DNA sequence: TTTAAAAATACAATCGATTGTATATATTAT
DNA sequence: ATAATATATACAATCGATTGTATTTTTAAA
């Protein structure tokens, strides 16, 4: 904000009228004569008036701002969710303040504090991997500030969640691998404090069970699902006496890292020796060769729906319970990585 | 902002002192006795006081907010730049409002208006492909609000630019392709109103010239560099009577789209028949097979430097001219896509 | 002990817009 | 023309924090 900003009072003085009339005119109040409105708007334009939303918000006790906390802005899923959130928010006259937790609890708490101080009218968040205490989120609920989770949620908190059906989707992925003749299916899981990961793990287990395969805990590798984790995980799995013939990873990043490791450092082939499936349909999943079978989870759509829902709550327009669970469609995308099983040994015998 | 928010006056009343003392205490003013500060801070905590930055900002005439306009939040380069911007901004006590122009002029103007109304203290932006008029950006300069461009800039505007040396880097890329024995090097260029693209085009031309290769305008395909443009571009190039043996694309997205098209729909091989190089080092560039030779341009670093520079300008701490050009290092990343030239015909003859 | 100087705190205006209430002006009915 | 009503505008308080100035309290000096 600089020196010479023109205010409604400057306009008022210029026209020899009162500031309140100017304010009402600019807001098209029926209380001021149409001709006066016109005159005032003209003067406003001439003087280069630009409203000061901070002042207006202070008075109206509304910030017209939504807070967003995501683990990483630059993850495709989150950046596209943010993109969707922005679309809706700006269309509805809300600004958006975005924070990233870097998957760390302390940062998430600091972010929550910042958003609070900025008097956000609502919060959209996907919780950090490290977060196991939720007081910093609870405070928003306590203060009557609506909160909507998307993707990763805190199970203890009474708030709306916009999610996909992780259990069911993981079941489908596993079922798909089983139907391809895979018998020893490994799983990369994420931190167990996040329900999305335990739900996926459970969907995976259930599918194994339903199809008469034994669940082997040794085939589950839990990590933060980063690139290094993917590499470490596949090394571990390949070191097992009874190697898996398929891997279902709870995200694409780790799956792709593992696939690259296999290509570059082992004699195994994908999907010949080991089938792969990921989760999230990141852009890289369609770029890698063979294409990675994964689950399409539109960040943009999830962001839009979560934002719409949040704004409805802010406005008190929703009749649904605050802890409603909104389930978004997700689709299994089958690519070559989960294709035909052609064990390497067979191949070698041929050649 | 909800009903029961506790203000400094609530604290004051609770302790039977004046609000101004509370305000000073919370800001650690030397004007209030250390013991009183302690007492006030304790009371503030007990009462659950959270500062209202809007009120403070109104009074101090500072919004502590930086505005960012990027074409697309979900593009990796931009999301990582935003990530870098956030890091710096929050560390320095600034909030960030992010807008996306979708590469459209009208949206960019609307974004500028929003940021203005929010009294941002500075702007960071990378301009939209469609933008050829700059009044909406000029107004910030006119009002004394610092503006810093990163990556895509408006040449007419007197403002700092944080960029890489597009000319020199494009020269290097082209040189690299030439050194691999390529003679007919095509180029995917972006909209010519953006200097980053004309600079790259010029760097490419200069390299051709320096190495005694003729510049053939037919080998330059100008587009918005989206996926479809990449496909269209490569179709066009392959339809030429004298096909190119290399392609230097001004971004990775179009390069990858073209590579995928070649793999899936033509008998040609990369890099055997045609070498590829992109620009930006997007994550997919390392995922695609063969790996895409490209230019590493750290969005995170550019974002950080641009944010630091902007904040210095806001604080009036910079001694550099406002139209300084900050050049960030960029590195050529050589991968397999620009490897050995082994024309398909030769290969066939061998087999 | 009195007084001057220093330290701590209180008072009051302010930032720019909004809004309930009061007043002035215009319109209609009698 | 006058009262009654409707319309248009002005007045003044307010949101929550900050800050220059005034006042009170404490400390030090005489």
The span from the CA of A162 to the CA of A196, in Å, is 12
Q: Are residues A139 and A33 in the same domain?
A: no
- Is nucleic acid strand D under 7 Å from B56's C-beta? yes
Asked if the peptide bond before residue A327 counts as cis, ω within 30 degrees of 0, the response is no
User: Judged by CB atoms within 8 Å, which residues 30-89 of B form the interface with A?
Assistant: 50-55, 57-58, 61-63, 72-76, 79-80, 82-83, 86
Q: In this predicted structure, what is the pLDDT of residue A2? A: 44
Average pLDDT score, chain B:
92
User: Which residues form the domain of B94?
Assistant: 63-163+298-329
Question: Is the model's pLDDT at B346 over the cut of 60?
Answer: no
Omega before A13 within 30 of 0, i.e. cis: no
Please tell me the distance from the alpha carbon of residue B274 to that of residue B186, in angstroms, as a whole number.
Answer: 10
pLDDT at A241: 95
- Is the bond preceding residue A90 a cis peptide, omega within 30 degrees? no
The continuous run of DSSP H or E covering B42 comes out as: helix B34-47
Q: Looking at the structure, tell me whether residues B124 and B268 fall in a common domain.
A: no
Q: A153 and A24, same structural domain? A: no
Spatial separation of the C-alpha atoms in residues A55 and B23, rounded to whole Å: 19
Chains A, B: CB pairs < 8 Å: 131
Q: What is the pLDDT of residue A349?
A: 39
B130–chain A Cβ distance below 8 A for any pair:
no
Same domain, B117 and B170: no
Residue A253 within any structural domain of the chain:
yes
Gap between the Cα atoms of B185 and B249, Å rounded: 10
Is B38 in the same domain as B149? no
Given phi > 0 = left and psi -120 to 50 = alpha, else beta, which region is A67?
beta
Cross-chain Cβ contact A95/B72 below 8 Å: no
A236 and A288, same domain (yes or no): yes
Cβ contact B136:B112 at 8 Å: yes
Contact between chains at A74 and B76 (C-beta distance less than 8 A): yes
What's the half-sphere exposure (Cβ side, CA atoms, 13 Å) at A55?
14
In chain B, the percentage of residues whose pLDDT exceeds 90 is 82
Kindly report which amino acid residue has its CA closest to the C1' atom of nucleotide C10. Answer: B18
Helix (H, G, I), strand (E, B), or coil: what is residue A350?
helix
- Rounded to whole angstroms, the distance from the CA of residue A57 to the C1' of nucleotide C15 is 13
How far is residue A43's CA from residue A41's CA, in Å, rounded to a whole number? 5
Distance CA(A169)–CA(A81), nearest Å, equals: 20
Peptide bond into B271 cis (omega under 30): yes
DSSP A336: G
Residues A97-113 have pLDDT tens digits of 889 999 999 999 999 98
Against a cut of 0.85, is the pTM above it? yes
The 10s digit of each residue's pLDDT in B7-52 is 999 999 999 999 999 999 999 999 999 999 999 999 999 999 999 9
Instruction: Check CB contact of B13 with chain A, cutoff 8 Å.
Output: no
Q: Check residue A345 and give its pLDDT.
A: 47
Give the tens place of pLDDT for each residue, B99-123. Answer: 999 999 999 999 998 888 888 999 9
Q: What is the pLDDT of residues B186-206, one digit of tens each?
A: 999 999 999 999 999 999 999
Give the residue-averaged pLDDT of B146-159: 93
B57 CB and strand D closer than 7 A: no
The answer to whether residue B4 scores a pLDDT higher than 60 is no
Nearest to A137 by CA among A125, A121, A129: A125
Give the pair of three-digit tokens for residue B329. Answer: 């290092």
Percentage of chain B modeled with pLDDT above 70: 96
Residues B286 and B226 in one domain: yes
Query: What is the C-alpha to C-alpha distance for residues A83 and A87, in angstroms, rounded to an integer?
Result: 6
Residue B1 inside a domain? The answer is: no
Query: How far is the C-alpha of B67 from the C-alpha of B163, rounded, in Å?
Result: 19
Helix A34-47 × helix A8-15 angle, to 10°: 110
Same-domain pairing of A322 and A259: no
Domain CATH code at residue A124: 3.40.50.2300
Alpha-carbon distances, residue A255 vs A233, A312, B85, B319 (angstroms): 10, 37, 30, 49
CB atoms within 10 A of CB B246: 28
Selecting from A53, A54, A287 the residue whose C-beta is nearest the C-beta of B256 gives A287
pLDDT single digits (tens) A238-282: 999 999 999 999 999 999 999 999 999 999 999 999 999 999 999
Residues A257 and A308 in one domain: no
pLDDT of residue A4: 52
What is the per-residue pLDDT for B298? 92
pLDDT for the residue A29: 93
Q: How confident is the model at residue B317 (pLDDT cuts 50, 70, 90)?
A: confident
**Strand B185-189 vs strand A275-277: parallel, antiparallel, or unpaired?**
unpaired
Mean pLDDT score, B60-81 = 93
Tokens of B86: 């956030």
B86 closest CB neighbour out of A90, A100, A260: A100
Scan residues 57-86 of chain B and list those with Cβ within 7 Å of strand C.
Answer: 58-59, 61
Domain count, chain A: 3
Using the CA of A26, give the nucleotide whose C1' is nearest. C17
Q: What angle do CA B282, B287, B288 make, to 5 degrees?
A: 100
Query: Residue A1: inside a domain, yes or no?
Result: no
Pick out chain A residues at pLDDT < 50.
1-3, 345-351
Chain B 310-339, residues with CB within 8 Å of chain A CB atoms: none
Q: Which nucleotides of C are covered by protein (CB under 7 A)?
A: 7-20
User: Is A287 inside any structural domain?
Assistant: yes
pLDDT of res. B116: 83
Question: CA–CA separation, B138 vs A5, rounded Å?
Answer: 16
CATH code, domain carrying B29: 1.10.260.40
């Amino acid at each position: 904000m600089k020196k010479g900003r023109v205010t409604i009072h400057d306009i008022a003085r210029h026209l020899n009228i009162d500031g309140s009339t100017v304010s009402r005119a600019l807001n098209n109040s029926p209380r001021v004569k149409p001709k006066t409105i016109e005159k005032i708007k003209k003067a406003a334009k001439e003087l280069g008036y630009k409203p000061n939303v901070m002042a207006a918000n202070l008075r109206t006790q509304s910030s017209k701002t939504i807070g967003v906390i995501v683990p990483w802005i630059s993850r495709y899923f989150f950046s596209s969710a943010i993109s969707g959130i922005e679309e809706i928010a700006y269309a509805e006259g809300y600004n958006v303040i975005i924070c990233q937790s870097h998957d760390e609890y302390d940062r998430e708490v600091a972010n929550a504090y910042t958003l609070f101080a900025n008097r956000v009218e609502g919060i959209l968040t996907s919780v950090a991997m490290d977060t196991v205490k939720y007081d910093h989120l609870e405070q928003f609920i306590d203060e009557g500030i609506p909160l909507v989770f998307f993707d990763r949620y805190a199970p203890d908190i009474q708030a709306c969640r916009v999610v996909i059906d992780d259990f069911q989707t993981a079941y489908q992925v596993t079922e798909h691998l089983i139907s391809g003749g895979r018998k020893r299916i490994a799983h990369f899981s994420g931190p167990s404090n996040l329900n999305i990961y335990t739900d996926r793990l459970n969907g995976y287990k259930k599918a194994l069970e339903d199809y008469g395969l034994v669940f082997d805990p040794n085939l589950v590798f839990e990590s933060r699902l980063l690139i290094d984790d993917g590499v470490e995980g596949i090394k571990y799995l390949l070191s097992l006496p009874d190697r898996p013939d398929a891997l279902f990873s709870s995200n694409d990043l780790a799956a792709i890292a593992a696939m690259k490791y296999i290509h570059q450092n082992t004699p195994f082939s994908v999907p010949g020796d080991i089938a792969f499936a990921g989760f999230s349909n990141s852009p890289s999943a369609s770029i890698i060769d063979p294409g990675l079978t994964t689950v399409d989870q539109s960040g943009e759509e999830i962001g839009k729906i979560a934002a719409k829902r949040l704004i409805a709550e802010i406005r008190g327009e929703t009749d649904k319970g605050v802890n409603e669970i909104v389930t978004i469609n997700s689709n299994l995308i089958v690519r070559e990585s989960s294709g035909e099983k052609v064990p390497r040994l067979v191949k070698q015998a041929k050649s």
